[in-house]
């Protein structure tokens, strides 16, 4: 199956592509390996109102790294994970406010 020509397979709408943080779009950030994304997020100078969100996302990414999955990217469909990856993947969810929680 060919990727969508409008989003290039990122599954993000045009509005999501319009925003960048230090030259990276949401699609760019989602394509980073979890370990690289954590390092990039940790180095950002964010406003105070975004600190809790960053902390939550870093916690989820840390859980991925802790179980040896820091090489995975967030844009990877779960259907492409190997059996071992799927078994070791932390069970992360997001609530209505977009906060990430990870019980692992």
pLDDT of amino acid 97: 36
Q: What angle do CA 96, 10, 73 make, to 5 degrees?
A: 80
Lowest mean pLDDT among 5-14, 36-45, 63-72: 5-14
Is residue 4, in this structure, part of any structural domain at all?
no
Domain with 37, as residue range(s), is 32-101
pLDDT of amino acid 71: 93
Cα 101 from Cα 18, distance rounded (Å):
26
C-beta of residue 69 within 8 angstroms of C-beta of residue 89: yes
Cα 51 from Cα 68, distance rounded (Å):
26
Structure tokens at 87: 């078994």
Share of residues in the chain with pLDDT > 90 (%): 18
Confidence of residue 13 (pLDDT cuts 50, 70, 90): confident
Total number of domains constituting the chain: 1
Is residue 44, in this structure, part of any structural domain at all?
yes
Confidence of residue 99 (pLDDT cuts 50, 70, 90): very low
Q: Which residues of 42-77 are buried (b: 16+ CB within 10 A; e: fewer)?
A: eeeeeeeeeeeeeebbbbbbbbbbeeebbebebbee
pLDDT of amino acid 48: 92
pTM over 0.85: no
């Amino acid at each position: 199956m060919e990727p969508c020509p409008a989003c290039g397979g990122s599954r993000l709408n045009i509005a999501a592509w319009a925003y960048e943080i230090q030259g990276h779009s949401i699609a760019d950030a989602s394509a980073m390996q979890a370990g690289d994304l954590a390092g990039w997020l940790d180095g950002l100078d964010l406003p105070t109102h975004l600190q809790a969100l960053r902390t939550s996302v870093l916690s989820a990414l840390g859980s991925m790294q802790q179980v040896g999955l820091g090489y995975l990217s967030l844009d990877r469909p779960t259907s492409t994970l190997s059996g071992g990856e799927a078994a070791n993947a932390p069970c992360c969810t997001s609530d209505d406010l977009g906060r990430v929680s990870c019980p692992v």
